[in-house]
Amino acid sequence: MTESAVRYSRAEDGIVTITFDDPDSAVNTMNDAYKQGLHEAVNRLEAELDSVTGVILASAKKSFFAGGDLNRLRAADPEHVTEQTQYVNEVKQDFRRLETLGRPVVAALNGTALGGGYEVALSAHHRIAADVRGSQIGLPEVSLGLLPGGGGITRTVRMLGLQKALTEVILPATRFSPSQALELGLVDEIVDDVEALEPAARAWISAHPDAAQPWDLKGFKIPGGAPTSPALASALPAFSSTLRKQLKGAPLPAPRAALAAAVEGAYVDIDTALLVETRYLVSLTIDQVAKNMIKALFFDLQHINSGGSRPQGFPKHTVQKLGVLGAGMMGAAIAYVSAKAGIEVVLKDVSLEAAEKGKGYAQALEEKALAGGKTTAEKSAALLARITPAAEASAFAGVDFVIEAVFESVPVKQGVFQEIQDVVQPDAVLGSNTSTLPISTLAEGVKRQSDFIGIHFFSPVDKMPLVEIVRGEKTSDEVLAKVFDYVLQIRKTPIVVNDSRGFFTSRVIGKFIAEAVAAVGEGVEPASIEQAALQAGYPAGALQLLDELTLSLTQKIRVETRQAEEAEGKSWVEHPSEAVIDWMVDDAGRIGRREGKGFYDYDENGRRTALWPGLRDKYGSGKRELPLKDLQERMLFAEALDAIDCLDNGVLTSVQDANIGSIYGIGFPVWTGGVLQYVNQYQGGLTGFVDRARELAVSYGERFEPPASLVARAQSGEIYE
Ligand code: NAD
């Protein structure tokens, strides 16, 4: 007989401890074993009620409870809606029985309690969290395309009020530290360590023998009012219009469903509200979008973060002293995120003044964090003390990890490595943050080519979660492993790719932009092109993005790439976007936002004012109308086909890296589950995708012709997994 996932033990004082301890997993999730275990525990509590004085919900794992069973949610299908609805409602009925037992119930959160895990705790009358570093509390379901349907919406709305629950907890899907959770009201008490939990729970139980949920007391009112109250009734329409603005037309059903469940549920009693919430949850689980998002943002991410692309057999490396070369926009920010993770940093530029200016970036961000109460004066001072500005190479003595972020030029980059390569530790990692130069070419300038590697950050570094690690021809496995560990050390997500022009991310995003630019050249209305991208779920329009990246820079990279490829004997296939960009840069002088003019016009503060009317004169914008679906799929397919090419040519070595890299690094629409999952989930699967690619090839050019590898996969039924 397998051990139960839920243990029941009653002490002499009558307090029953219900301990979650899934025997088959390192974490507790809402699987069948849990469901049955809790059901039996609640039955027993009711049967033995006379001898029960209170209940403590506890966990025997390192975390309290990880959440819903995502494998189960992911497998939900439209044919089993009734069973699924019943399953969710049964889980919730036991919560309801627990909170209306007539005995005080305390949740003792010894670690992370997320999603379904936090919803378990919501059935308690009092939540105590141990202030354990790294513990996360919250309802992140919306970020996985789901909603908190285990009572999370219904109870947080009743605890915090509709507005606060929605805008601070449910919709942003934030994971909070115990102290943030306390401040918000998601937990009621914090203790210093795990050992202090039980005494605190017992003390609360004995002081509150008659505990009940506020919503079960007579005369209960939702804080801030029900939707029918005059104040809220007038504010409600703004909720959905704000959400609509935030989503910019992206096809993300979860936020809308969460809003609807919260508002509808607030009109009715708690038991009805719980049923309403289930209905919305089930409707999301049978939708493809949630499956895509769970696949990428949970399973693919877990694969990556647990070292899926890290060479095995090397001990975990912790960077002691980081040397950053170049204190410009990127170098300064790399120094900041590293110091924030506790690493000593030397930040070098051509002069001490320039290096100090780079440190100023960290100072400014810390001042802001301090003013917003996000850090303390001590922590902030310690962080800043870890960054040492320098101008001399000698400051790199003792450095075990170098990241170079000087100007984008082979001789300049090779020069700065030569200055420091004999000063740093003899086995120091030599990393470059280049965004376009081949790693193997840069490596030729250093003595230890096997220690040379690309560490490609994204701007703004402190916000962007991805780092693309680029392996050069001679990079060793050990160095790759060290860099992988460093990226996790600074709490970012690493993907690993092989050296190639534009690596993976810059190359693929270039296809999105090129497709939009080509459509401008065909006479499609530029505003429609931008709108199509937003409605497909891209965070920004492609023309806007290109203005930010600067048209002349893109042009320069293309010219250089073409020269390099032709020198290698490869033939260059011109893309229709090239002529548009050449005309914009060479004839119209429209370089991009930096110069105040690109596809858009800008005011003196650099704010976009309108699309440039000159496009209409040149290309007769609006003369050609394309179906919205075509416009969107040209962009999505162009990127997906290029990602397949990256996989076929070994630039990418895993599907997970492709999916996560595309969502976290280059804004591929999150609802798709990433650039290769987009292919899997296309209507009709891979065969449907192949057929559609052929249609696009007929209408818009051979570049959409599906490659043989894809056709073969479609025939064999193998997906990108
Ligand atoms: P930047 O012009 O802001 O900074 C470059 C810095 O390097 C300047 O402070 C300059 O004084 C310094 N520098 C130049 N020569 C030096 C030398 N010999 N020794 C020490 N310092 C020297 O440039 P940036 O935007 O920070 O880009 C830096 C690198 O990062 C480039 O390779 C770029 O391609 C890459 N990158 C940029 C982005 C981005 O979004 N800007 C994104 C990813 C990668």
Ligand 1 midpoint to CA 411 (Å) = 13
Dig out the tokens for 531 from the structure: 């709108």
CA of 607 to the centre of ligand 1 (A): 24
One-character DSSP codes across 495-554 = EEEE--TTTTHHHHHHHHHHHHHHHHHTTB-HHHHHHHHHHTT-SS-HHHHHHHH-HHHH
Whether residue 49 has pLDDT greater than 90? yes
413 Cα to the center of ligand 1, angstroms: 10
- The DSSP secondary-structure symbol of 574 reads P
Per-residue model confidence as pLDDT tens digits over 627-638 = 999 999 999 999
- Pocket lining: 326 vs ligand 1, CB cutoff 6 Å: yes
Residue 345 · residue 399 · CB < 8 Å: no
408 CB under 6 A from ligand 1?
Answer: yes
DSSP string, 363-374: HHHHHHHHHTTS
349 CB within 6 A, ligand 1: yes
CB of residue 420 inside a 6 A radius of ligand 1: no
Atom of ligand 1 nearest to the CA of 333: 26
CA 261–ligand 1 middle distance (angstroms): 48
Q: E strand or H helix at 488, and its extent?
A: helix 477-489
The verdict on the CB of residue 330 being under 6 Å from ligand 1 is yes
Give the model confidence (pLDDT) of 516-572 as tens digits. 999 999 999 999 999 999 999 999 999 999 999 999 999 999 999 999 999 999 999
- How far CA 590 is from CA of 125, 199, 304, 340, 717, in Å, comes to 62, 69, 41, 39, 47
pLDDT at 511: 98
Q: Is the CB of 407 under 6 A from ligand 1?
A: yes
Indicate if ligand 1 lies below 6 Å from the C-beta of 509: no
The phi-psi region of residue 342 (left if phi > 0; otherwise alpha if psi is between -120 and 50; otherwise beta) is left
**What does each C-alpha distance from 221 to 158, 269, 471 come to in angstroms?**
8, 11, 59
Task: Decide whether any atom of ligand 1 lies within 6 Å of the 457 Cβ.
Answer: yes
User: Given CA atoms 342, 343, 344, 346 in this order, what sign does their dihedral have?
Assistant: negative
Residues across the chain: 721
Contact call for residues 551 and 624 (beta carbons, < 8 A) = no
Distance 357 CA to ligand 1 centre (A): 13
For residue range 397-456, what is the model confidence (pLDDT) as tens digits? Answer: 999 999 999 999 999 999 999 999 999 999 999 999 999 899 999 999 999 999 999 999
Q: Which residues of 503-537 are buried (b: 16+ CB within 10 A; e: fewer)?
A: bbbbbbbbbbbbbbbbbbbbbbbbebbbbbbbbbb
Distance CA 280, CA 651 (A): 41
ipTM summary value? 0.95
Burial class (CB in 10 A: 0-12, 13-18, 19+), 18: buried
Ligand 1 pocket, mutate which of 329, 466, 666 (most atoms under 8 A from CB): 329
Atom in ligand 1 nearest the alpha carbon of residue 348: 20
To test the pocket of ligand 1, the residue of 349, 357, 409, 458 to mutate (highest count of ligand atoms within 8 Å of its CB) is 349
Cα 229 to Cα 164, 268, 274, 518: the distances in Å are: 16, 13, 21, 52
**What is the arithmetic mean of pLDDT over 703-710?**
98
> What integer pLDDT is reported at residue 1 of this predicted model?
39
To test the pocket of ligand 1, the residue of 324, 325, 396, 435 to mutate (highest count of ligand atoms within 8 Å of its CB) is 435
Query: What would you measure as the largest C-alpha separation in the chain, in angstroms?
Result: 87
Which fold does the domain 506-716 belong to in CATH?
A: N-(1-d-carboxylethyl)-l-norvaline Dehydrogenase; domain 2 (1.10.1040)
Give 328-374 pLDDT, tens digit per residue. 999 999 999 999 999 999 999 999 999 999 999 999 999 999 999 88
Q: Is 467 in the pocket of ligand 1 (CB under 6 A)?
A: no
Least confident of 113-117, 540-544, 561-565, 599-603: 561-565
Return residue ranges of the chain for CATH 1.10.1040.50. 506-716
468 touches ligand 1 (CB under 6 Å): no
The SS3 assignment for 471 reads strand
User: Which atom of ligand 1 approaches the CA of 459 most closely?
Assistant: 40
Query: What single letter denotes the amino acid at residue 324?
Result: V
Class of domain 321-503: alpha beta
CATH architecture of the domain with range 6-286 = Alpha-Beta Complex (3.90)
Q: Are 165 and 180 in contact (CB under 8 A)?
A: no
Q: Where in the chain is the domain with CATH 3.90.226.10?
A: 6-286
Say yes or no to pLDDT of 232 above 90. no
- Please report, for residues 66, 326, 645, the alpha-carbon distance to residue 445 in angstroms, rounded to integers and kept in the order given: 48, 17, 30
Residue 403 C-alpha to ligand 1 middle, in angstroms? 11
> Band of the pLDDT at 2, cuts 50, 70, 90?
low
Which residues neighbour 674 within 8 Å (Cβ) at sequence distance 6 or greater? 292, 296, 300, 658, 659, 660, 661, 662, 663, 668
How far, in Å, is the centroid of ligand 1 from the Cα of 461? 13
Q: Which amino acid is at 516?
A: A
pLDDT for the residue numbered 144: 97
Residue 133 sits at the vertex; the CA angle it makes with 481 and 34, to the nearest 5 degrees, is 90
For the chain, the average pLDDT equals: 96
412 in contact with ligand 1, CB cutoff 6 A: yes
Residue nearest to ligand 1 atom 28, measured at CA: 405
Q: Is 413 in the pocket of ligand 1 (CB under 6 A)?
A: no
Question: Which tokens hold the place of 572?
Answer: 């260059």
* Bond preceding residue 460 cis, omega within 30 of 0: yes
Q: How far apart, in whole angstroms, are the C-alpha atoms of residue 489 and residue 388?
A: 20
DSSP state of 313: S
* Cα dist from 537 to 170, 280, 530, 633, 688, whole Å: 20, 22, 11, 12, 21
Position in ligand 1 atom list of the atom nearest CA 436: 34
Query: Which residue of 350, 353, 406 sits with most ligand 1 atoms within 8 Å of its CB, as the best mutation to test the pocket?
Result: 406
| pLDDT per position as a tens digit, 473-507 | 999 999 999 999 999 999 999 999 999 989 999 99
Q: Are 223 and 81 in contact (CB under 8 A)?
A: no
Compute the average pLDDT of residues 136-164. Answer: 97
User: What letter would DSSP give residue 585?
Assistant: I
> Which residues are within 8 A (CB) of 488 and not within 5 positions of it... i.e. 6 or more apart?
305, 494
> Could you identify the atom of ligand 1 that is nearest to the CA of residue 330?
26
**Nearest atom within ligand 1 for CA of residue 413:** 18
Q: What percent of the chain has pLDDT over 90?
A: 94
What are the tokens at 270?
A: 């708690």
| Residue 354, ligand 1, Cβ within 6 A | yes
CATH 3.40.50.720-classified regions of the chain: 321-503
Cα–Cα distances (Å) from 570 to 113, 562, 564, in that order, read 55, 9, 9
Q: pLDDT value at position 373?
A: 87
